[in-house]
Structure 1
Amino acid sequence: MWGRGTVMAVPGVVLLGVVALAAPAGAAAEAPGRAPAGGLRAEGGAYDVTLPTGDIVHVAGAGTSVTPAPGRDPAFTVSHDNGDLYVVPDDRLSDDPERYNVTALHEGRRPVARPKASGELVTVRVRSIARDGRPGLGVANFLNVEDGAGGNARRPLPGTKDQPCTDASWEDADCIRLRPGTYSILGLIKTLPSWAPSTSGATPLNYSLVGSPEVEITGDTEIVLDARKATEVTVATPEHATAANPGTISHLMWTRSAADGTAVDDGVLMPPGATLEERLFLQPTARVRRGSFEMYTRWRLEAPAITMRAAGVALAPRYYDAAYFSDVSSQFPRLDGRAVLRVADGDRPGADLRGRLALVQRKDGVPVAEQSNAAAKAGARMVAVYNDRPGVDDETGGAGVQLRVPTVRLSHEEGRALLRRSGAVVTAKGVVDSPYLYDLVFPETGQIPKKLHYIARTRDLARVENSYSGADSVTTGRYSRRPWEEYATAYTFPLIGAPRTRVEYLSADPGTQWSARAATPEEPYNHAFPGPETPFLRLDEAKWTSYKPGARASHAWFQAPLTGGVNPLSPISRTGDRIRLRVGLVDAAANYSDAYSSLFPGGFVTDFRVYRDDELVAQTAYLPNGTLTTTPGEATYRVQYDVANNATWARSSTRTKTAWTFRSAQTQATTTLLLLQVGYDARVDLHNRARSGVLKLTVRHQDGSRTPLKRLTLAASFDDGTTWTAVPVKDGTARLHGRGMVSLRVAAEDAASNTIDQEVIRAYELH
């Protein structure tokens, strides 16, 4: 099953670099009346921009996310051009992209003016053809690959005829004026269902990337971007059965650089449900001779979510988009296991639907939820809605009503074929939690080849076994990054059956880096059925990794205990008289999460303080992420971070306190400071329970230095911190004696007098 959650716990797409979240909406940067003068200043560079469509782009350092406006769920084309970030909703490709220039909107300026083309200009007309032969909806991009002049010019497809041709970077015309030369001309074209106008806003069947990354323009000409010339990209997974579930294809991205190094990155991000077929087509090209070119597609393959078999009828059922009918996956009914169902005509008055698959026809003006729930009330075990016109359709006719039984969509042809077979029986199989996941990036460098069939054999991939502990459900997302990408992007999906393990197969090559995120509890992908407000713990893997073929690894999430810590990707450091500070929560596997006070009861309550020579110089109850301007002389600093997790879902690590001390003076270069970190290994299971009292402690410096450890002590409590008992530690190993929820106090000091004092209440269960 799929979700629409993001790192922001709202629908949309995540563009993840080093994330720096801002204080929650409505919260001051510091708690009123609590921050001393000269206190911690919020990290600069974070801002929100509202696009003309109402979609909100959140920019925070190298990380960006997009929250679609209520009732909207488009794909987004994302590009960097001339130093500006563009995020264009896919249903607004005919608009001037400068309306969606996020950088310019934030700075309150006009977009950077592009120099006018000089010398002789020629007229290039563009015509687009979808895979069914009709005019194709999309966008064409033009880049001079000799000198990058003009940047990434665009024209909507199909453009408006009889509109004047100019050399402007954008206009709603079917032509453009260019200086003769060598160009990259690529078009992204949608093919729509046969029943929909070919340039309408209906959900497309599929996308095609067509054109050439290198073509000579010598005079007036017409360029035909014909999706019928594109080849389908296919992926086989010989060792495991997989299917094109919603969200299978998420990325079609490319970069094109001119001979002088000027580069433009472009592409489309497709959320689950962005296409009806989960198919993608690419036109093969010759190898480029000027500059460089790379493109890739990204695939997410799991066990088939739902299949159906019936004698003499080929069926390809799809669940409807859960976001129309639920907030979280537990509210969306799915078939779990195998069911043999007799087919009944759900549209026939008086039909016996008890325990059957009710087959109903889609109708304009009648919501799918109304049709499905009426059949469920009559006893149907499952409902299949078939299209009332040729092909498939995902139109639900409305949202905000929960479904009572699993409901799938079928094509018109499939539905009619079932109805023609009297007494038809369908064998349905549903997989709620796939035990495996393929996350695959297929890059093509220099050209798009003719052969676009990929075989993903497990021996050629990295095998990562992920364990998700302690929660009933979580949201997961994995991020990939090619060398030319300044950001990483991903959609997130719920993992319903947590706690559990899952084998994840990843593309293994040195040019693809991976990182991941997991959040608990499952983040809502909609807000139609709001429940009590609750905080979310969003853990990021604190590294980027490229794998070799055949590599094996394991990674744990939400493994107890959860304590205060720093992010290795954003360490506490000093430059001159400015100390860059950022702390949060880390689990036993060193995954990192920002955590700060919630604006509602039953959430996080945090207190972050910084002392210089015992004088309080900064304090905040909100995001402890910013810069402290301090005095140049050497001083002793103490950074203290207290977190209480009052959420109803919090079973362990409900309170934690961490204090770091270190000495620091003015620096010339940026220097990572000598903060100690404690690692915990209690050998807990997926429920964060340990059968053995053995606890291993490791102490390291955030900068990796090896200053010897002078002192390490441990105390334990089995009454939530009311009483404490000292526990001997030898060579980093201690043995606890007791049963129940154990709380821990650890103190460590190195030979340079840097210290850490850490306390965690209800760290894990010992039984």
Structure 2
Amino acid sequence: MCELTLRMIDRNGAPATVNSRATFDVISLSGGGRAHDVPAGTTLQLPVGRYALVGSLITPRLGLDPSMAAMAHPELDLKHDTTVTLDTRQAAKVTANVDQPEVTGGSSLVEMGVRLGVDETQSMVFPFEQRFQEMFAGTVRGTSSATFYFGASHRLEQPRLDLFGEQPKRFPVRAVAVGAPLPVGSRTPALAFGGAGREEDLAGVEMRDRLVVLQLPWDTAPETLAERVRTVREHGGAMVAVWLRPADTVRQGTELEGQPGSRIAAAAKPSSELTGAKTAELPVLPTVQITGANAERFAALARIGGGTAAVIARPEIRDAYELSFPATGRIPAQLEQSVRKSELAAVTMAFHGYSAESPPQMHAIHQVAGVRLGTSRLGFGTPGLVRAERQEYYTPGTWAFLNTLVSQTPSVGGDLRGEELFAAGKSYRLAWNGAVTGPGFCGKRAYPADSPWAGRAAQEIDISIPLFSDGAGHTGTADLDAPGDRGSTALYREGRLFGSQATPGRAVFVAPAEEAGYRLTTEAERDEPWASLSTKVSAEWTFRSGYVQGQSQALPLLEVRYNPAVDLANSAPGGRPFTVPVTVSRQDGPAAITGLEVDASYDGGVTWRPAKVSGQNGRYDVELRHPAAGSVSLRAKAADADGNTTTQSLVHAYRLR
């Protein structure tokens, strides 16, 4: 065993102690585990071996949000008693800016990690908001490792909300909306201090048409805040800024967990989960939660009376930048990035068919060298738009997307996934949730990693078909935990039922090794207030399959994808002829498609009419005659030269306008 002593020096040159908020993570590169959140100044007893060290600390700054720093020793070969000192004065400042001056808001993330195997990594993430916080990162001079990786990620946009104290000199205050929507525009309300917002606190306080500052404990529940805001409204207040005063143990840092030695992992989050309140609990007035070093200054300005604020609320952001700067081996010496639009991929994000009650939320992850980077790594997505488009700019490379649904119903579902390769200077358009939604096989499953959606390994046939993939091919599966998604999946072998499961698109069967003819059937009904299209999806496939040695191989299932020219409400013109482009492909690769038949229904699948189909080699045009109003349901039959077939039916595929 060897002694490893861990020391750190903050940005002011002062040694960190066990009582400071400076910690280490010690990761064994030889499979010996990991020590989390070890306070600086600690001496560990460790076996001889190779280790990666990451240390982080917060350095207070008078009148400003604290400076944050993270440093790494990528690979320490521990053979004898050793002391490692991380001097954060050697770290470089992490920032990013673009050639659009008004883009000053957003969130950033620094990540440091090591690869321990093909699919195994250990990492530390440090979020920050560069408008208010300084972030520094670096490696110990003269050190590097092939296993080490680094990423600086930035989601930049024009701030949706700016809040300033106006006296004696304007100062910015970090704020996030937690209540009723703020009216778009600029205003300069007078300030009033409402204490804890109780009747006795508000008695005698002039607050009509004012922004009222409330000071509440850091662990205040959303229900309590909603009650206090109602009281403010009854006394004539127009808006509320709530300061959830942090506990004394963290007042000099940021609103974190509160224990000495806590890492920076939540530094950019509000100090309480007020933003997660249910609709019924949201404050009835426009309300913001204020945090950071200037929150106390803002509250003091309201307390002394006579102060004013400046509030700027902007509409939904239409331009955003998703930037990622990865590195391997060690952290680059230069971490301040200035980027031009011409160096990025321009992506038009189109959001089809969503509603204000169930809006989308987008998560974007940069995939590089087997590592996943991006501000969405913390699980917090970016609000999407409702039936609208937004221009976004991306660092060139491969990006994985997850578009989720923010629903007020107990069951959610509605997730869509995709992957795109972007090139610098190129333009792209990504349509999300666009009709027609149905079975699709783009990409592969995440779990098990890189497995086909429907595959066979040895004698196991594993089915996980995305029955709700959108018209662009973004894959969406039924939510097996949501009561709104119901259905079944069955497998027939040589004409006889082999097995069935009461889950839509999902089943596992253990079949005999001998090759045989199979028929796979599945159906799903979606009964959700946010899902008015593709409310019933049914499909069947015929194919042959036998024992497969080694990794899972994709089954030869055919996919029929419709891509009609619908608007952002997923509607097409009624009362006129309409052509729907259709492609037929196969999950396991190229195939010779021998034919396609399509029927249309305008009464929800009660009666069907054959449509004229033209085209060949998997690309077809389907000619329809739309009635004036209603919806269109579609049914297709396709086959290939190997004898594989499919029949698919989609009820309420798109609507008519």
TM-score range, shorter chain: 0.7 to 0.9
Cα distance per residue 1:21-43 (max 9 Å; x no partner): xxxxxxxxxxxxxxxxxxxxxxx
Corresponding residue of 2:150: 295
Q: Structure 1 residues 450 and 185, CA, compared in 2 at 3 Å: closer, same or farther?
A: same
Task: After TM superposition, list the pairs within 5 Å mapping 1:249-288 onto structure 2.
Answer: 249-255=108-114, 265-269=121-125, 279-283=134-138, 285-288=140-143
Corresponding residue of 2:320: 437
The one of 549, 559, 563 aligned to 2:438: 563
Q: Structure 1 residues 745 and 373, CA, compared in 2 at 3 Å: closer, same or farther?
A: same
Q: Following TM superposition, by how much is the alpha carbon of 1:683 offset from its aligned partner in structure 2, in angstroms? A: 0.4
Supply the distance in 2 between the matched residues of 1:635 and 1:206 (Cα, whole angstroms): 66
Gaps of 5+ in 1: 1-116, 162-172, 196-203, 323-331, 524-530
Supply the distance in 1 between the matched residues of 2:139 and 2:538 (Cα, whole angstroms): 58
Corresponding residue of 2:300: 416
Task: After TM superposition, list the pairs within 5 Å mapping 1:624-639 onto structure 2.
Answer: 624-639=505-520
The one of 88, 94, 103 aligned to 1:242: 103
The one of 356, 377, 387 aligned to 2:210: 356
SS in 2 for 1:241: coil
The one of 26, 43, 47 aligned to 1:174: 43
Supply the distance in 2 between the matched residues of 1:484 and 1:734 (Cα, whole angstroms): 41
Corresponding residue of 1:126: 6
Amino acid at match of 2:492: Y
The one of 567, 571, 590 aligned to 2:473: 590
Supply the distance in 2 between the matched residues of 1:158 and 1:597 (Cα, whole angstroms): 43
Supply the distance in 1 between the matched residues of 2:480 and 2:53 (Cα, whole angstroms): 50
- 1:613–1:636 CA contact under 8 A, matched in 2: yes
- 1:598–1:605 CA contact under 8 A, matched in 2: no
Supply the distance in 2 between the matched residues of 1:339 and 1:414 (Cα, whole angstroms): 18
Moved more, 449-458 or 713-722: 449-458
Corresponding residue of 1:341: 188
Q: Following TM superposition, by how much is the alpha carbon of 1:539 offset from its aligned partner in structure 2, in angstroms? A: 1.2
Q: Following TM superposition, by how much is the alpha carbon of 1:379 offset from its aligned partner in structure 2, in angstroms? A: 2.5
Q: Structure 1 residues 190 and 267, CA, compared in 2 at 3 Å: closer, same or farther?
A: farther
Verify: 1:480 aligned to 2:366, yes or no. yes
Corresponding residue of 1:686: 568
Supply the distance in 2 between the matched residues of 1:385 and 1:502 (Cα, whole angstroms): 31
Amino acid at match of 1:536: G
Task: After TM superposition, list the pairs within 5 Å mapping 1:605-644 onto structure 2.
Answer: 605-622=486-503, 624-644=505-525
Gaps of 5+ in 2: 195-201, 256-269, 445-451
Amino acid at match of 2:332: P
Q: Following TM superposition, by how much is the alpha carbon of 1:283 offset from its aligned partner in structure 2, in angstroms? A: 3.1
Q: Following TM superposition, by how much is the alpha carbon of 1:635 offset from its aligned partner in structure 2, in angstroms? A: 2.2
Amino acid at match of 1:413: R
Q: Following TM superposition, by how much is the alpha carbon of 1:720 offset from its aligned partner in structure 2, in angstroms? A: 0.9
Amino acid at match of 1:695: V
Supply the distance in 2 between the matched residues of 1:633 and 1:149 (Cα, whole angstroms): 44
Corresponding residue of 2:417: 540
Verify: 1:753 aligned to 2:643, yes or no. yes
Supply the distance in 1 between the matched residues of 2:372 and 2:139 (Cα, whole angstroms): 27
Amino acid at match of 2:383: L
Q: Following TM superposition, by how much is the alpha carbon of 1:497 offset from its aligned partner in structure 2, in angstroms? A: 3.7
- 1:157–1:174 CA contact under 8 A, matched in 2: no
Q: Following TM superposition, by how much is the alpha carbon of 1:595 offset from its aligned partner in structure 2, in angstroms? A: 0.9
Q: Following TM superposition, by how much is the alpha carbon of 1:304 offset from its aligned partner in structure 2, in angstroms? A: 0.7
Supply the distance in 2 between the matched residues of 1:207 and 1:493 (Cα, whole angstroms): 23
Supply the distance in 2 between the matched residues of 1:663 and 1:262 (Cα, whole angstroms): 33
Verify: 1:307 aligned to 2:162, yes or no. yes
Please tell me the root mean square deviation across aligned C-alpha atoms, in Å.
Answer: 3.7
- 1:432–1:496 CA contact under 8 A, matched in 2: no
Q: Following TM superposition, by how much is the alpha carbon of 1:443 offset from its aligned partner in structure 2, in angstroms? A: 1.7
Q: Structure 1 residues 194 and 153, CA, compared in 2 at 3 Å: closer, same or farther?
A: farther
Supply the distance in 2 between the matched residues of 1:364 and 1:574 (Cα, whole angstroms): 53
Q: Following TM superposition, by how much is the alpha carbon of 1:434 offset from its aligned partner in structure 2, in angstroms? A: 1.5
Corresponding residue of 1:507: 395
Moved more, 427-436 or 610-619: 427-436
The one of 54, 66, 80 aligned to 1:186: 54
Q: Structure 1 residues 376 and 742, CA, compared in 2 at 3 Å: closer, same or farther?
A: same
Verify: 1:675 aligned to 2:554, yes or no. no
Corresponding residue of 1:105: none
Q: Following TM superposition, by how much is the alpha carbon of 1:216 offset from its aligned partner in structure 2, in angstroms? A: 8.0
Supply the distance in 1 between the matched residues of 2:47 and 2:459 (Cα, whole angstroms): 52
Corresponding residue of 2:266: none
Corresponding residue of 1:403: 283
- 1:320–1:408 CA contact under 8 A, matched in 2: yes
TM-score, length-scaled by structure 2: 0.79
- 2:74–2:139 CA contact under 8 A, matched in 1: no
Task: After TM superposition, list the pairs within 5 Å mapping 1:92-131 onto structure 2.
Answer: 117=1, 121=2, 123-131=3-11
Q: Structure 1 residues 361 and 657, CA, compared in 2 at 3 Å: closer, same or farther?
A: closer
Verify: 1:319 aligned to 2:200, yes or no. no
Cα distance per residue 1:671-699 (max 9 Å; x no partner): 43321111112101110011261111111
Q: Following TM superposition, by how much is the alpha carbon of 1:236 offset from its aligned partner in structure 2, in angstroms? A: 0.9
SS in 1 for 2:191: strand
Corresponding residue of 1:705: 590
Q: Structure 1 residues 456 and 395, CA, compared in 2 at 3 Å: closer, same or farther?
A: same
Supply the distance in 2 between the matched residues of 1:282 and 1:343 (Cα, whole angstroms): 41
Q: Structure 1 residues 490 and 697, CA, compared in 2 at 3 Å: closer, same or farther?
A: farther
Task: After TM superposition, list the pairs within 5 Å mapping 1:385-404 onto structure 2.
Answer: 385=242, 395=271, 401-404=281-284
Q: Structure 1 residues 662 and 380, CA, compared in 2 at 3 Å: closer, same or farther?
A: same
Q: Structure 1 residues 338 and 519, CA, compared in 2 at 3 Å: closer, same or farther?
A: same
Q: Percent of aligned positions with the same letter in both sequences?
A: 22
Supply the distance in 1 between the matched residues of 2:118 and 2:585 (Cα, whole angstroms): 43
Cα distance per residue 1:435-460 (max 9 Å; x no partner): 12222222233332333211132222
Q: Following TM superposition, by how much is the alpha carbon of 1:252 offset from its aligned partner in structure 2, in angstroms? A: 1.5
The one of 622, 628, 632 aligned to 1:742: 632
Q: Following TM superposition, by how much is the alpha carbon of 1:380 offset from its aligned partner in structure 2, in angstroms? A: 2.2
Corresponding residue of 1:69: none
Corresponding residue of 1:29: none
